[in-house]
Structure formats: structure tokens, C-alpha cells
Amino acid sequence: MKRGFLKTVLMVTLSTVFLASCSGGASKSDDSKANGESKQSESSKGADNGENVTLKLYANYSDDQEKDTLDRAIEEMKKEMPNVTVEIEPASQDDGQKLKTYAASGNLPDIFKSDGVDIETFNKSNTLVELDEYAKEAGIIDDIADAYKDALYMSDGHIYAVPWQSPWVNSFYANKKVFEENGVKIPQNYDEFLTAVKTFNEKGVLPYALFGKEKQWCLHLYDIMVTRKAPDGIKGLDENTAKAGDADYLEAANKLIELVNAGMLSKDVFNTTYDQAKALFTSDKCAMFMTGTWALNGLEQEMGDNLVLMYYPLAAAGSEEEAKWNMSGGYSQGGFSVPEYSKNKEIAAKYAVLLSRKVNDAFVALEGGTSIYKDSPKSEKKLGPVMSQYIEDTKNFKSMSKFDWNLSNQELKTVMEDKAQELLTGTITAEDFAKEIDAAIEETN
């Protein structure tokens, strides 16, 4: 965890260096724009003439679900652009640090997975290719469902990535086998959740697997707790419509401290990756797990009837139904972006836009996800009961907060991530946690 305002000052300093580095990397493209250049690089011309081109692709490619989806999409892309080969570099599970390092040194891959925050940050130095014309040529703007059109455009009104997923939420999962073998009831509210944590801890069973090495998930856990009473959650802090010292936010922080002190998390939680946390859960070595519902279908295929989707069993007893459909998460801007300095810029831009559509189609076909396009393929697999129920449940969602990576106030985001991770150590009071976040809100607004 980074600590306090010294770290905030440090982040500002590092951001200055970072932006200077990015600016240096993008200076050629800036000059080109100023001179009205829009011509392709020599290698891109060659690609248009049918010569073979290899593009480097940085994307999520860790678990089987991610691999199957991307592999299917790339296979389909061979029909669209047969002269293009991609070399995949699996995205590191490091809270985006490797991607930021690539950006700072002017070494972003030809195509890379981006989110809204990446785009806004990198584009302060005009690092990214505008994809408006490529998206129009590919039919994306006409074909995307009206509900998702806004997700295409960033704050300057341009497209820098095409999203490929419908909104998802953060979710809790329970391993039914672990609960049954230890005689513990799957919780429905906060009191039952706390009891389950204490009981599993006494039995030497890890109650909850969290991949705390990616600190945004510490903040998501806080967001889930807050949204039991304050539906805006971290979105309210990001948009300066709420304070961490507000009663509902303060109560959420205190409850998380209570759960940590009861033994909810492992001793090495902040060194735990997603793959490690998931393995603990699916191998029956822990009782509960949290990730986005994008992983639900894959988890159900692996675990079958042992998987239980829990809708945030953290509300006070008696208010479960009232809070049930206050969801943590939401839709994400971003997709696949291209740096201006890619030597295959035009080919990469065309490929990135088309690949986004193929990934959407592959995800719908292979995982049963909801398409963001007006027309989409049908799922090739019969969905399990848990995934089918989730799709039906989405009709009941009352509110959405935000995923960490869609927060707009970057300085505040850094402080909130750091303090949320510190909160989960149990070494900071809820009051001090709130004071530092509210001070950051005041300072950055």
C-alpha cells in the first residue's frame, strides 16, 4: 500500500515524469498531425498490398475462458485480414503497472487492452490513434446497440477503443461443498457472513480468497459493503457527491475491519494473484471468492453444482431485499487501443476495431454473455442454471456504482486504492481511513 499524502505528492511527481515520457514518445505523431499527414508507414502499406505483417497484442490471456474467447476471435480475424499474424503477450496481473511502464517508455504494443482510465491518461500526450473512421468503416457505429453507443466515445468525443462486453458486476461466490463439509450455512446477511468467517477460521479453513495483489479489488470489496446502504458507492466519492466520512461509508469501513479481525482473509492476501485465489476456491481450499460476473460461466463449468452466486450477503438482517439489487460495478469504456507510434498503425487500428467485434461474438457464443450489438450469434453451449439465473436477474438491477478502472479522478483513485488495501490490514481506523480519502477529495476537486 502507498500511504497518505506523501504518496499522493509522489504520484503527482511520477505522473509528471510519466506524461513527459509519453509526450516524447508521441512527438512524431503530433508533428505528423500538425502537417496534415495521414499516410501509412511503409510496413502498413505493405500489409495493404497483401504482404504479411505481425502485430504484438497485449491482452487478458490467463485462464481458459480468456484464452478460448481470444483464440476464437483471432481465428475469425484470419478470414478478415489473412495477412496479419498476432503475437499475444498475456496481460500481467499487476494492477496495470506493466502497461503503464510500456506507455512511459514509448513501447506500447501495436494493440493493447485498455480501459477508460488508460485512454484518458495516455491521451494527455496524444499517444493513441483515433479510431472513429475505422469504427465507421467496420459498421461498428451503426451496428452497436443504442444503449452502448455512449461507451464508444471518450471525453473529447472521439473513439480510442471499441468495447466488447455488456455491463458486468462484482460478485461473491460460495463453494457449496466447503460449506456443507464444515456444517456452515451459506450467509444471507452481514451477521451470518461474520459468523461464517469466524467458524471457518476456527476450523482452519480460509473463509475468503481475495486477489489483493491487484489493489483495485480491495477497493471493490469496500464498494460492495458501501452499496448495501449508499447505492452510489465509490462512484459518489469519485464524483464528489458523497464523503468517506458519511455515516453509511464509515459504517462500511468499520464492518470490513471487523471482518478482517475475525480472520476473513489470508495472511498473504496482498501477494495473492487472481489465478492463485481462484485455484484456492475451485480446489475446495476456501469457502468464498470474489470477482466479476464475467467469470461466472467458466466457474460454473468447472465447479458445477458446487458454485453458488451470492448477491452480497453484507446487508443488515432485515434489509437484505432492499439492498440486494444495488450493484457494484457497471459498464466499462475501453477495449483494444493502438499507439500512434506503432509502425503498423493503420493495419493495427483496423485490426483492433474488427477484433473487438469478433471478441464480442466469441464471448456470446462460448460464454453466454450478452452482446452489445443489435445482432449477435447464439450461445453454442447450454448455460448452467447459475449463469441462466444471473442473466434473468440482470433485469432486477436497480443501480450501478463503478468499477475501479472507470473512476475519473485518478489522484483520488490512487489514494482510495491504497487506503482500501490498508483498511484490509486492520491497522487503520475507519475514521482515519475516511479522513485521508476526504482530504484527497477536497484536494483534487
Task: List, for residues 200-214, the tens digit of each pLDDT value.
Answer: 999 999 999 999 999
| Domain shared by 140 and 196, yes or no | no
CA dihedral angle for residue 31, residue 33, residue 37, residue 42, rounded to 10 degrees: 70
| Domain shared by 229 and 102, yes or no | no
Q: What is the mean pLDDT of residues 34-51?
A: 46
Exposure of 395 by Cβ count < 10 A (0-12 exposed, 13-18 middle, 19+ buried)?
exposed
In a domain, 389, yes or no: no
In a domain, 419, yes or no: yes
Question: How far, CA to CA in Å, does 70 sit from each of 119, 227, 352, 377?
Answer: 21, 33, 12, 16
Residue 34 has pLDDT above 80, yes or no: no
Ramachandran region, residue 375 (left: φ > 0; alpha: ψ -120 to 50; beta: rest): beta
* pLDDT, position 49: 56
Question: Domain of 212?
Answer: 168-330+398-444
Per residue in 256-298, pLDDT (tens digit) is 999 999 999 999 999 999 999 999 999 999 999 999 998 998 8
In a domain, 383, yes or no: no
In a domain, 425, yes or no: yes
| Domain shared by 32 and 179, yes or no | no
Exposure of 267 by Cβ count < 10 A (0-12 exposed, 13-18 middle, 19+ buried)?
exposed
* pLDDT, position 35: 37
Mean pLDDT of the chain: 87
CA dihedral angle for residue 313, residue 318, residue 323, residue 325, rounded to 10 degrees: 80
| Domain shared by 187 and 131, yes or no | no
In a domain, 388, yes or no: no
Cell of 174: 460460495
In three-state secondary structure terms, 342 is coil
Residue 224 has pLDDT above 80, yes or no: yes
| Domain shared by 326 and 192, yes or no | yes
In a domain, 390, yes or no: no
Per residue in 348-395, pLDDT (tens digit) is 999 999 999 999 999 889 877 778 888 878 888 788 999 889 888 887
In a domain, 292, yes or no: yes
| Domain shared by 123 and 236, yes or no | no
Number of independent structural domains in the chain: 2
Is there a contact between 328 and 233 (Cβ–Cβ < 8 Å)? yes
d(C-alpha 246, C-alpha 438), whole Å: 10
| Domain shared by 274 and 412, yes or no | yes
Extended strands (E) in 187-285: 206-209
Percentage of the chain beyond pLDDT 70 is 89
| Phi, psi of 288, deg, nearest 5 | -135, 160
Q: What is the mean pLDDT of residues 208-230?
A: 96
* pLDDT, position 19: 35
Helix%, strand%, coil% for the chain, nearest 5: 55, 15, 35
Q: Which residues pair with 55 in a beta bridge?
A: 86
Residue 163 has pLDDT above 70, yes or no: yes
d(C-alpha 163, C-alpha 337), whole Å: 10
d(C-alpha 274, C-alpha 92), whole Å: 11
Per residue in 95-137, pLDDT (tens digit) is 788 999 999 999 999 999 998 878 988 988 899 999 999 999 9
Residue 83 has pLDDT above 60, yes or no: yes
Cα atoms in the 13 Å half-sphere on the side-chain side of 175: 26
Residue 27 has pLDDT above 50, yes or no: no
| Domain shared by 99 and 136, yes or no | yes
**Any idea which of 3-17, 55-69, 349-363, 427-441 has the lowest mean pLDDT?**
3-17
CATH at 125: 3.40.190.10
| Domain shared by 26 and 94, yes or no | yes
In a domain, 382, yes or no: no
| Domain shared by 325 and 202, yes or no | yes
| Domain shared by 175 and 210, yes or no | yes
Structure confidence at residue 15 as a pLDDT band (50, 70, 90): very low
Is there a contact between 103 and 22 (Cβ–Cβ < 8 Å)? yes
Kindly list the strands in the beta sheet with 53-59, ordered across the sheet, starting from the edge strand earlier in the chain.
Answer: 84-90, 53-59, 111-115, 334-337
Cα atoms in the 13 Å half-sphere on the side-chain side of 229: 18
* pLDDT, position 51: 82
| Domain shared by 258 and 341, yes or no | no
* pLDDT, position 22: 37
* pLDDT, position 392: 83
Following DSSP, what letter does each residue of 89-131 receive, concatenated?
Answer: EEPPSSTTHHHHHHHHTT---SEEEEEHHHHHHHGGGT-B---
Is there a contact between 397 and 403 (Cβ–Cβ < 8 Å)? no
Per residue in 139-150, pLDDT (tens digit) is 999 998 886 787
